[in-house]
């Protein structure tokens, strides 16, 4: 078992030997005690002892942190430790949290058995696979983990079979680069990082089933990743092709487009070039339609679904052929095929654009332009696809020196080479219609190419604009009687359809559905990844899959896993591993030396959690059919078009081969917001060191200085210096990162406030899906709430800061007011957990606590229900209070309280009060209020009392729940009115 570093802060000198610890009627597990003792370094031990009570619960320390390092006199004499001041805490989180984490671990409280009662409903709640880095967690990480833990605990208490596992996406470039830099094998650093992450997660009390823990680096796991690859290969969905890739010489590997920023590698900032390489590809495009259509039925954020729709980029249009012309204007016999979504604008095409990597470019570029074109191709090779297609960037290009013929009007149009067209999209060539496409318009304007309008907007006001019009309208200037094609005066849709019909009849083109989605580049020239399970025959080069019975193909141990510098992967250095034989024919062969990308292992891990120890199949059919889809999947929006799309693709393939029973893996996806670092207040100073207000026009030109929060105050909507309110400051928050120095370590927060306070604060900061700014001082509020909860149940602390055993609750019957407060809280907390509005659920509990502090007695029935409500949020405190309330078992499976509708009705009404038939005011009364009680309330009302005090009353008319009418002498009424 791993303990968080904060536990070490509470080590104390060894006490004398004590009797065995017990937990209520259940002996506290001896193994846990053994684990505690592991912390006993030479002079330190955890101060745990039996307090002599019958229950045998943990004795309570005084909160004193004492050093037992001996002070020596003359180098020998041992002195007694100096007495330290008593540390008083709102509640003893430093004791109870470690205690209950040990209990949960030893009793495997949250284990989901392999064999379960399938008649019960199931709930599968999952966090996106974390990558365990050496930096460990920062306080932004537990946001989503806490949310899923609340849901998991809540559903267990509602009687569901809950699957809530954790594992590690541990292959990939970061671990390999660190290994190269330090000379440490990536396996060693990966295991170390996993241990750190696991320790931190356990210190936060998350109810994961650690028996199901998996890592993508385990051969028992990636055996099935390799098995899935073989299924893709069998179905023709895995293939090799020579494609232009992002090659980083410094890292020695191919990078995905998303890993390249401004021509540099995201990792390390090294130059990246484009070059053709033979690579493994996965045919995700074969599933493009299904990936698009099935989005509609998913309970996902609409923004994520829209990102996937745009990434898939389905479009309907036409492929048209433009014959290439020789220098004398004759057709060469070679044609450029373009793809367009606007065939209705073909008469407005005044030039063509081909991608720098277009395969025909070298065959038609003119001699005069060849050197210029080659220089441009080299320049374009250094840019990523994302950079090249950035809408805001200035358009660049060069003329090829050659022309093509527009098939609909016979015009010769110049062929340009420009990097805003990608060889990987469509045909790698476009017809440019500058009047009706913004990019083409910008390009044509820059290079003085003719612009011809062929679509008239229905809104005449737009037609006068000097910008491109990309919408639809009525077609103009689009007729050729010689070719019998006239689309003038047709709508854009009618014209497009007519052009396609004409093209298919004349063999100049055809209707085409296209996708922006490209096949998945599935090879990496790295060491730290899953080996690809194929061999290549030496004599023929034929690709042969290895037998499924030989899986896993394990990664060989290498001492030198640095890049080769030649493009050959590091695995090529494992010569004895590379050289092999085809198991069927016995012919000499060599293994594939590229490895799978990091995304491979995370594509299907949610399935393995259902059956993690199965050595016979990916997942047992019966278990997969029960656990079905992941009910709630929580993670960052940055995975929208990579992990989530790749997982959906693999899942659909597995569905097609009968390995899974559902078409989609994740029923509901929730993206948690980002926790930003604490606000930094920035002031500007001139060259003489004088402060300049940030709202002055010249402030940003001067040096900056970060101002401590205690020297800042708010003035209106601005922040100013306390000592000089005329100086406005800039307040900024940034995403937490080591480079900015704004990372908050959760271990530090747990040490000072406890895990429950951290959990509660992260949920209380605001809606789960919103980004929010960390404020360490803000945690004080929820910490005080937990302290007040503790004292409500346990009582006030003793003079030394410790607390008595047991509780101060009473066994009497609760009052109607208490039951109403409780059930109102139950209803609100239940509703808000189910809607993942955790912050407002906490607010409801705070309101209850405020009401409870006004009661003279605190009935057990009410307090126990409140403890159960609190338990998903603050499980350590709730477990301890539950135990103190006399229960011998964990509350993890106790039924979650249900609100009784009878107590949710409004108990009071507004009763109008009339004096001699005229309404003079209202009073708040119980629905069952008697006439006498209503009258007494009226006499106490400030507004009504002036009519009633000392007055002669003839009679009272009372209609329960409707009205109270008091009849007075008229003179009395007039006097009161005056």
Cα separation, 847 vs 79, in Å, equals 52
Confidence of residue 33 (pLDDT cuts 50, 70, 90): very low
Average pLDDT over the chain reads 86
Paired tokens of 974: 């007039």
Q: Which residues contact 181 (CB under 8 A, 6 or more apart)?
A: none
Q: Which residues pair with 11 in a beta bridge?
A: 46
pTM: 0.80
Inter-residue contact 670 to 836 (CB < 8 Å): yes
Q: How far is CA 109 from CA 505, 613, 658, in A?
A: 72, 19, 34
Cα separation, 415 vs 417, in Å, equals 7
Q: In whole angstroms, what separates CA 148 from the centre of its chain?
A: 12
Q: What is the pLDDT of residues 282-337, one digit of tens each?
A: 999 999 999 999 999 999 999 999 999 999 999 999 999 999 999 888 999 999 99
Confidence of residue 38 (pLDDT cuts 50, 70, 90): very low
Which residue would you say has higher pLDDT here, 769 or 703? 769
Half-sphere exposure of 677 (CA within 13 A, CB side): 17
Tell me which H or E stretch contains 740: none
In 3D space, the residue among 218, 64, 128 whose CA is nearest the CA of residue 800 turns out to be 64
Angle made by CA atoms 550, 555, 557, in degrees to the nearest 5: 130
Checking if the pLDDT of 45 tops 50, the result is no
CB atoms within 10 A of CB 694: 20
Q: Could you please report the per-residue DSSP string of 794-837? A: H----TTS---SS---B-SPPPHHHHHHHHHHHHHHHHHHHTT-
In 3D space, the residue among 808, 504, 86, 945 whose CA is nearest the CA of residue 966 turns out to be 945
Inter-residue contact 744 to 139 (CB < 8 Å): yes
Collapsed DSSP state (helix, strand, coil) of residue 10:
helix
Spell out where 449-492 has E strands: 455-457, 473-475, 479-480, 485-486
Angle made by CA atoms 518, 519, 524, in degrees to the nearest 5: 115
Using only C-alpha atoms, what is the Rg of the chain? 37
- Give the CATH class of 314-515: alpha beta
Checking if the pLDDT of 729 tops 80, the result is yes
Per-state percent for the chain, helix, strand, coil, to nearest 5: 35, 20, 45
User: Phi, psi (5° rounding) for residue 389?
Assistant: -100, 5
Q: What is the pLDDT of residues 456-494, one digit of tens each?
A: 998 766 655 678 999 999 999 999 999 999 999 999 999
Checking if the pLDDT of 61 tops 80, the result is no
Checking if the pLDDT of 134 tops 90, the result is no
Cα separation, 38 vs 2, in Å, equals 10
Q: What is the pLDDT of residues 356-387, one digit of tens each?
A: 999 999 999 999 999 999 999 988 887 767 67
Q: Is 150 left (phi over 0), alpha (psi -120 to 50) or beta?
A: alpha
What pLDDT, on a 0 to 100 scale, did the predictor assign at position 28? 43
What pLDDT, on a 0 to 100 scale, did the predictor assign at position 95? 94
User: Phi, psi (5° rounding) for residue 395?
Assistant: -75, 140
* Matching residue, tokens 């009047």: 435
What pLDDT, on a 0 to 100 scale, did the predictor assign at position 60? 31
Cα separation, 356 vs 376, in Å, equals 8
Q: What is the pLDDT of residues 918-971, one digit of tens each?
A: 999 999 888 888 999 899 989 888 889 888 887 888 899 999 989 999 998 776
Tell me which H or E stretch contains 142: helix 142-157
* Matching residue, tokens 């036409």: 318
Number of helical (H) and strand (E) elements in the chain, helices listed first: 29, 45
Paired tokens of 905: 């009705």
Q: Which residues pair with 732 in a beta bridge?
A: 680
* Matching residue, tokens 């379960």: 116
β-pairing, 712-715 with 918-926?
unpaired
Please, where are the H alpha helices in 349-389?
361-364, 370-380, 385-388
- Give the CATH class of 790-903: mainly alpha
Collapsed DSSP state (helix, strand, coil) of residue 309:
helix
What pLDDT, on a 0 to 100 scale, did the predictor assign at position 277? 85
State the fold for domain 908-968: Ubiquitin-like (UB roll) (3.10.20)
Paired tokens of 564: 């080769």
Q: What residue ranges do the domains of the chain occupy?
A: 225-286+519-597, 314-515, 676-735, 790-903, 908-968
Which three-class secondary structure string do you get for 610-649?
CCCCCCCCCCCHHHHHHHCCECEEEECHHHCCCHHHHHHH
CA torsion through residues 836, 839, 842, 848, sign: negative
């Amino acid at each position: 078992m791993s303990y968080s570093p904060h536990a070490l802060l509470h080590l104390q000198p060894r006490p004398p030997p004590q009797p065995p610890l017990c937990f209520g009627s259940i002996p506290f597990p001896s193994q846990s005690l053994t684990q505690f003792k592991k912390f006993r370094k030479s002079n330190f031990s955890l101060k745990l002892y039996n307090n002599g009570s019958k229950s045998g619960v943990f004795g309570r320390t005084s909160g004193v942190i004492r050093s037992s390092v001996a002070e020596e006199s003359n180098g020998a004499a041992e002195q007694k430790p100096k007495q330290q001041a008593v540390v008083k805490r709102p509640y003893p989180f430093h004791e109870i949290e470690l205690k209950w984490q040990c209990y949960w671990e030893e009793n495997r409280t949250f284990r989901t058995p392999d064999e379960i009662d399938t008649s019960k409903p199931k709930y599968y709640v999952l966090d996106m696979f974390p990558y365990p880095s050496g930096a460990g967690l920062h306080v932004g990480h537990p946001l989503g983990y806490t949310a899923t833990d609340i849901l998991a605990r809540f559903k267990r208490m509602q009687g569901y079979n809950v699957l809530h596992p954790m594992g590690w996406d541990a292959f990939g470039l970061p671990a390999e680069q660190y290994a190269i830099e330090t000379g440490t094998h990536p396996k060693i650093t990966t295991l170390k990082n996993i241990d750190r992450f696991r320790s931190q997660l356990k210190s936060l009390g998350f109810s994961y089933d650690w028996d199901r823990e998996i890592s993508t680096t385990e051969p028992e796991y990636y055996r099935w990743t390799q098995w899935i690859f073989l299924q893709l290969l069998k179905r023709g969905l895995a293939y090799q092709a020579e494609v232009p890739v992002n090659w980083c010489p410094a890292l020695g590997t191919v990078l995905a487009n998303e890993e390249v920023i401004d021509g540099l590698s995201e990792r390390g900032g090294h130059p990246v070039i484009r070059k053709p390489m033979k690579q493994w590809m996965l045919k995700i495009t074969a599933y493009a339609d299904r990936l698009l259509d099935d989005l509609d039925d998913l309970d996902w954020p609409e923004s994520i679904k829209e990102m996937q729709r745009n990434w898939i980029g389905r479009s309907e249009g036409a492929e048209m052929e433009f014959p290439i012309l020789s220098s004398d204007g004759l057709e060469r016999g070679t044609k450029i095929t373009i793809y367009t979504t606007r065939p209705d604008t073909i008469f407005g095409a005044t030039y063509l654009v081909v991608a720098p990597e277009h395969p025909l470019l070298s065959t038609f570029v003119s001699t005069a332009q060849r050197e210029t074109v080659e220089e441009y191709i080299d320049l374009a090779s250094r840019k990523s696809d994302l950079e090249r297609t950035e809408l805001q960037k200035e358009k660049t290009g060069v003329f090829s020196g050659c022309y093509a013929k527009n098939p609909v009007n016979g015009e010769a149009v110049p062929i340009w080479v420009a990097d805003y067209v990608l060889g990987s999209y469509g045909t790698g060539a476009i017809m440019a219609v500058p009047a009706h496409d913004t990019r083409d318009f910008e390009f044509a304007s820059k290079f003085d190419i003719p612009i011809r309008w062929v679509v008239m907007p229905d809104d005449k006001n737009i037609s006068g604009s000097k910008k491109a019009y990309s919408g639809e309208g009525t077609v103009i200037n689009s007729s050729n009687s010689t070719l019998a094609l006239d689309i003038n005066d047709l709508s854009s849709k009618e014209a497009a359809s007519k052009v396609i019909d004409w093209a298919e009849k004349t063999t100049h083109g055809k209707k085409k559905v296209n996708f922006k989605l490209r096949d998945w580049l599935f090879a990496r020239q790295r060491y730290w990844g899953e080996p690809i399970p194929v061999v290549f025959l030496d004599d023929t080069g034929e690709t042969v899959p290895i037998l499924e019975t030989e899986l896993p193909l394990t990664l060989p141990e290498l001492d030198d896993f640095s890049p080769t510098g030649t493009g050959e992967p590091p695995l090529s250095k494992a010569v004895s591993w590379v050289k092999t034989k085809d198991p069927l024919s016995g012919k000499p062969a060599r293994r594939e030396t590229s490895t799978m990308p990091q995304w491979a292992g995370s594509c299907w891990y949610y399935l393995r959690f259902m059956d993690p120890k199965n050595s016979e199949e990916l997942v047992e059919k019966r278990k997969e059919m029960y656990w079905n889809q992941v009910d709630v999947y929580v993670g960052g929006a940055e995975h929208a078009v990579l992990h989530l799309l790749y997982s959906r693709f693999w899942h659909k393939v597995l569905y097609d081969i009968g390995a899974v029973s559902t078409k989609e893996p994740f029923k509901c996806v929730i993206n948690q917001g980002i926790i930003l670092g604490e606000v930094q207040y920035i002031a500007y100073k001139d060259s003489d060191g004088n402060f300049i207000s940030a709202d002055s026009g010249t402030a940003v030109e001067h040096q900056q200085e970060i101002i401590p929060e205690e020297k800042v105050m708010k003035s209106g909507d601005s922040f100013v210096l306390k000592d000089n309110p005329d100086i406005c400051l800039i307040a900024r928050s940034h995403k937490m990162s080591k480079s900015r120095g704004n990372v908050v370590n959760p271990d530090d927060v747990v040490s000072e406030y406890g895990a429950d306070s951290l959990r509660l604060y992260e949920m209380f900061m605001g809606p789960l899906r919103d980004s929010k700014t960390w404020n360490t001082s803000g945690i004080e509020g929820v910490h005080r709430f937990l302290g007040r909860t503790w004292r409500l149940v346990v009582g006030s602390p003793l003079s030394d800061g410790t607390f008595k055993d047991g509780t101060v609750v009473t066994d009497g019957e609760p009052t109607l007011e208490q039951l109403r407060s409780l059930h109102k809280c139950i209803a609100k907390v239940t509703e808000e957990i189910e809607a993942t509005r955790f912050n407002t659920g906490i607010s409801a509990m705070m309101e209850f606590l405020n009401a409870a502090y006004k009661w003279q007695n605190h009935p057990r029935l009410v307090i126990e229900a409140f403890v159960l409500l609190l338990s998903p949020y603050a499980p350590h405190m709730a477990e301890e209070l539950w135990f103190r309330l006399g229960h011998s078992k964990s509350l993890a499976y106790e039924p979650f309280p249900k609100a009784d509708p009878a107590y949710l009705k409004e108990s009071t009404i507004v009763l109008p009060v009339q004096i001699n038939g005229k309404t003079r005011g209202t009073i708040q009364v119980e629905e069952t209020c008697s006439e006498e009680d209503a009258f007494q309330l009226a006499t106490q009302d400030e507004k009504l009392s002036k009519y009633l005090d000392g007055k002669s009353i003839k009679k009272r008319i009372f209609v329960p729940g409707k009205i109270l009418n008091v009849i007075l002498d008229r003179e009395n009424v007039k006097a009161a009115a005056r």
